Structure 1
Amino acid sequence: MMSTSRWSRARGAAVAATVPLILVAACSSGGSGSSGGKDGEIRMMVNLTDNLDQAYWKKLVKPFEDKTGLKVKIEGPTGKSVAESFPEQLAAGTAPDVIQSIFPDDDTAPELVDLSGESWAKGTPMFENYAMKREHYAVGVGEQTQSLIFYNKDAFKKAKISKTPTTWDELATDMGRLKKAGFTAMQTAGDFQTGLQLQQIYHPALNQAHPKWQTDVNNSMLNVGDAYKPMFRMYADWIKKGYIAKSDAGLDPSQADGNFIAGKAGLYTNGSWFAATLDQAEDVPFEVGVFSPPVDDGKPYPGPQGATMADPYMINKGARSESDAKKLVKYLVTDKAAIEAQLGSDGVFRKDAKLKQTALDTEVQGILNDAPELVAVGEGQGNVRLPVTGFNPKFTEVAQSLYTGKSPDEAAKTIDQWVSENR
């Protein structure tokens, strides 16, 4: 199941903006060894979860330790998250050598090693997508596809739906059939997931209509409201027709997962991490399928796939040994066994990877392989970014207002006003 931290990753380590850059610069200079650590030890801060625990990380790096004689010290965040802890540790002069799970931003980038000149880095997933100007500070293991619609194949049969929809009209027709057959047509949820799902389902169509739309907003060539108004109108219509349950706007995301897994819903928009949730679930009473969201009439299907770099790694300029830190990161993102271990966890996929997979994972892999393009999500990433931070929570607030009677035009005006006031 996706955590709130994954949704916030779209803005990288934006919390770093709360740390004065002059203070960061004074406390961490390239090659100074300010990160501390023993000789031959590499400190790596990672996102610790129930399944990605200390034992997982130690097992992952052990072959590297055995081969190089170096030791890797696995550290969890000192604050609530890696995104919060890294800038705080930079300011205190205690930042680790390698940082996992977050992305650079304008404040942290000057304190990171540019990996543009490393030949091994250039072939890693979404390397160019996360470039900042001409610099590359993050390398990743794979991709997490954001724009997926999971569906109940048994519900489709009961509703007499023979194939997955490729256009919005087809989707609306199918939702009507699912509702008539006694299912919640589209499972939604509250908290962060309301806005996330609305963006996920619209990524392919939006990026066909407005490629790199975040850049167009940044350059004042497009308003967010105009970009999303067609989706707001469709979404409001789905709510009105009962395809989406109004009460779901207050539903915890984990409860929404449970509703779909229990067979109560026909469709569920989510990211590739939900495939891992389904793989781990016991006794799912139906066969699950997945497809890429619809596109506008006359547009090629499938559309661009919203995606984020999965398991990103960055190197602190203040690392005790920049060379040793590079060796570790190279191992993590290029070693075949290390890649397979990471792809096998938390719904992480890699384009054209050939791993033994479940039937559902194979479907997700096919969507990733067939995507004509992987595009930035939410606030954006690298050089394709909105001129604001905090967009995702605000977008969720606007999406939820459609449940309480705000019109699509009012929703579009609200998000435009917020962007204008905060850019």
Structure 2
Amino acid sequence: MRKWLALGMTVSLAASLAACGTDNGNGGNAGNASASNPPATNSEGGGQAGNAENVEIVFQSWITPNLTAEYYDGLIERFESANPGIKVKRIQPPANEGSPDSYLKTLLASGDFPDVVQNATIQMFVDADALLEIPIDADIEQINNYEAEMIDGKLYNISAIRQPQSLVFYNKKLFAEAGIEATPKTWAELEAAAEKLKAQGITPLLTAGDWTSGFTFSVMTSPTVYKANKEWYADRYDNKVKFTDPDWMEAASYYAGLIEKGYFNKGALSIDYTAVEQEFLKGNGAMYPMGSWFSAAEATAAKDFEVGVFATPTKDGEQYVLGGENAGGYAVSKTSNHPEAAIQFAKFMMLDPEAHKGYLQADALFSNLKEPLKWDMSPLQSEIYELLLNNPPMVGHMNNKVGRVPVAGIQDQYNKVAQNLLLGELDVADGLQSLDDYWDKNNK
């Protein structure tokens, strides 16, 4: 979730709004060159989309600890230098948003939808008729499995990444102190490891409030359910499955048991994503369920221990890493006054070789181009890469696609369930029923 789920940086709404025009452009083809040398997007290229002069497009960026404002501004400067007729105005959602969706819905309602958006829930804005169809050209055809992100046979999102999310990072020093010689693969092995850690006065598992609580709940439970049914959300739309079915009940009960046994950090809901990351890097917890982007922060952190990684355990021990392929990318407004320039910028941000490689390295992602671009990986990132070698194609979880994209806003309901479980104020059956109730209410 880019990461698709992370904290933004505060910006006033008034300063963020920028008119993007109202005529319904058709987009056009931004060029037929290969992704390794897209037109007017590489660092040495030039030219202006449609020979336009003094064009300004508005870009909604997604700020995270790894993908900073400075990171985006540097890329924008390079794009503008190569394309002197195009100016890019960057905006960003307020802090503490779990995704840009609420922010973008506000801008859409006010008529100020940006020309280029990043990390949005694509289905939501396709349903709102807000996004432009991306032409399938030689650039797009360089992306593995881009067809899987199509909606009704049309592409609305430019992305070429793999982002594993159901990972558990662990402190090798604390594992050794507790006498844990092998990383857990099954639920039972994880509980046994947690008990050994707790007996040594070590906090076994770390999580936080905000979106992190729902994310942790999802990545610790969903792999067992979704490896058995990779179309689960699609089947939920057809009422073939429910959250209250035995498989989800068993997985959620296992997770609730970890809480009841005191394996999570006390006061987890009083800290946020940024804080819990630092807690782990300070050595204040042994295991940290999180997506691959954490390895970028780990690579530059000062610490006196090594970090390892394993796939989130499943009931039977069979590895299945959840995550995203070709999601969390760049989409273009259907009402942009400058659709060709917007597509050109979106392609640059994802497909320009230097920008693509920099994005992968900044957020610990893996290239999903047919000729993947490689970057210098840290030891921890190499461990993640090894996990992926034996992993089947990923599906999503939480607010990401599992056969289909879930109903809008399901992420917030996951968060509510997870937070109330952490507080000990919710029965598992009631929590899962609330997910079914939310789905049925919002299934339109």
With normalisation by structure 1, the TM-score equals: 0.82
- Structure 1 residues 334, 48: CA separation in 2 closer, same or farther (over 3 Å shift)? closer
Query: Which residue in 1 is equivalent to 2:122?
Result: 104
CA distance in 2, matches of 1:313, 1:139: 5
Tell me if 1:150 matches 2:145.
no
CA distance in 1, matches of 2:113, 2:435: 36
Tell me if 1:294 matches 2:308.
no
CA distance in 1, matches of 2:115, 2:441: 37
Query: Which residue in 2 is equivalent to 1:381?
Result: 401
- Structure 1 residues 238, 91: CA separation in 2 closer, same or farther (over 3 Å shift)? closer
- Structure 1 residues 78, 41: CA separation in 2 closer, same or farther (over 3 Å shift)? farther
Percent of residue pairs identical: 25
- Structure 1 residues 229, 279: CA separation in 2 closer, same or farther (over 3 Å shift)? same
Tell me which of 407, 419, 441 is aligned to 1:400.
419
1:178–1:185 contact (8 Å) kept in structure 2: yes
Tell me if 1:30 matches 2:25.
yes
Q: Secondary structure of the residue that 1:169 maps to in structure 2?
A: helix
- Structure 1 residues 67, 369: CA separation in 2 closer, same or farther (over 3 Å shift)? farther
- Structure 1 residues 97, 393: CA separation in 2 closer, same or farther (over 3 Å shift)? closer
Deviation per CA, 1:323-359, whole angstroms, max 9, x where unpaired? 3333333333222111112222234333565211211
Query: Which residue in 1 is equivalent to 2:360?
Result: 343
- Structure 1 residues 328, 152: CA separation in 2 closer, same or farther (over 3 Å shift)? same
Tell me if 1:71 matches 2:70.
no
Tell me if 1:162 matches 2:177.
no
CA distance in 2, matches of 1:302, 1:263: 27
Tell me which of 188, 195, 199 is aligned to 1:176.
195
Displacement of 1:294 after TM fit? 1.4
- Structure 1 residues 419, 238: CA separation in 2 closer, same or farther (over 3 Å shift)? same
Tell me which of 248, 256, 263 is aligned to 1:243.
263
Query: Which residue in 2 is equivalent to 1:6?
Result: 5
1:332–1:338 contact (8 Å) kept in structure 2: yes
> What does 1:208-357 correspond to in 2, within 5 Å?
208-226=227-245, 227-245=247-265, 247-281=267-301, 283-297=302-316, 301-307=318-324, 309=326, 312-351=329-368, 353-357=373-377
CA distance in 1, matches of 2:126, 2:214: 27
- Structure 1 residues 143, 210: CA separation in 2 closer, same or farther (over 3 Å shift)? same
Query: Which residue in 2 is equivalent to 1:203?
Result: 222
Gaps of 5+ in 1: 10-25
Gaps of 5+ in 2: 9-20, 29-51
Number of positions where the alignment pairs a residue of Structure 1 with one of Structure 2: 399
Deviation per CA, 1:202-237, whole angstroms, max 9, x where unpaired? 332221122221111111000022242112111122
Tell me which of 120, 123, 130 is aligned to 2:139.
120
Deviation per CA, 1:214-265, whole angstroms, max 9, x where unpaired? 1111110000222421121111222222222453244433332232212121
Displacement of 1:275 after TM fit? 1.7
Deviation per CA, 1:188-208, whole angstroms, max 9, x where unpaired? 222322221010123322211
CA distance in 2, matches of 1:302, 1:385: 23
Q: Secondary structure of the residue that 2:168 maps to in structure 1?
A: strand
With normalisation by structure 2, the TM-score equals: 0.78
- Structure 1 residues 106, 218: CA separation in 2 closer, same or farther (over 3 Å shift)? same
- Structure 1 residues 96, 235: CA separation in 2 closer, same or farther (over 3 Å shift)? closer
Structure number having the greater helix percentage: 1
Tell me which of 172, 176, 185 is aligned to 2:204.
185
Tell me which of 40, 57, 61 is aligned to 1:43.
57
1:200–1:306 contact (8 Å) kept in structure 2: no
CA distance in 2, matches of 1:125, 1:189: 34
| Amino acid in structure 2 at the alignment position of 1:269 | P
Displacement of 1:129 after TM fit? 3.8
CA distance in 2, matches of 1:57, 1:8: 15
RMSD: 3.3
Tell me if 1:418 matches 2:438.
yes
| Amino acid in structure 1 at the alignment position of 2:339 | E
- Structure 1 residues 102, 223: CA separation in 2 closer, same or farther (over 3 Å shift)? same
1:42–1:97 contact (8 Å) kept in structure 2: no
